[in-house]
Amino acid sequence: MSDLKRMAAEKAVEDVQDGMTVGLGTGSTAYFAIMRVAELVRSGYKLRCVATSVQTEEIALREGIEILPLDEVEGIDITIDGADEVDPQLQLIKGLGGALLREKIVAAASKREIIIVDDSKMVPKLGTKSPLPVEVLPFGQGHTRRALERLGCEPTLRMKDGRPFITDGGNPIFDCRFPGIESPFFLESRLNTIPGVVENGLFLNMATKVIVASPDGIKIMER
């Protein structure tokens, strides 16, 4: 599986050109992209990068990559990130790595969003394999949970080391298990009207290219 992730990541980094501003994703697949970007920097590429999480920033800085705050760049030429599910229309579920809020902000600021996955992440319908992460405010999270349940899901508070997982933004996450998501755009709009919901892991119409690695090779899907 690591070989497949590396294949997809290295293929995506082929789109990075000298002088670009690059968004660096979060997670096990994006890690390989960060490593390849670091190789480009060491070879002489002048890149300015934005990190989608504290974890990614720490890895990038350790590898000698310049990291800038998002507000110090006018825009991002290309962001390379992973996904937890990809459907045939290139709609995504992201956020099992816990960075969905920053990932979505960076994606929205990017001219191109390249998603790198292995073929196990491809699904006929969103919600088939992965729960939908929903980041919520700590205040009143019990009420927020009940509102999520009324949408037809089973929300589970994400835990880490015996305690609630807390995002870089200081918020907990409910992993919401749906019996398949029939209408992602409708669900996104419903989620966004719930007081206490900070962000959800539906990344709709954001991916411009998806690179899928399988034992048979690389497949590229573009919008």
Tokens 């992201």 locate to: 94
Backbone angles phi, psi at 168, to 5 degrees: -60, -25
- Identity of residue 134: V
103 among known catalytic residues: yes
Q: What is the largest CA-CA distance in the chain?
A: 54
The tokens describing 94, both together, are 């992201």
Which position among 10, 85, 103, 199 bears the catalytic label?
Answer: 103
Sign of CA dihedral 20, 24, 29, 32: positive
Identify whether the C-beta of residue 8 lies closer than 8 Å to the C-beta of residue 213.
yes
The tokens describing 143, both together, are 């009420």
Q: Could you give the 3-state DSSP secondary structure of residue 165? A: coil
Identify whether the C-beta of residue 52 lies closer than 8 Å to the C-beta of residue 81.
yes
Identify whether the C-beta of residue 177 lies closer than 8 Å to the C-beta of residue 80.
no
Angle between helix 2-13 and helix 28-42 axes, rounded to 10 deg? 50
Which residues are part of the catalytic machinery? 103
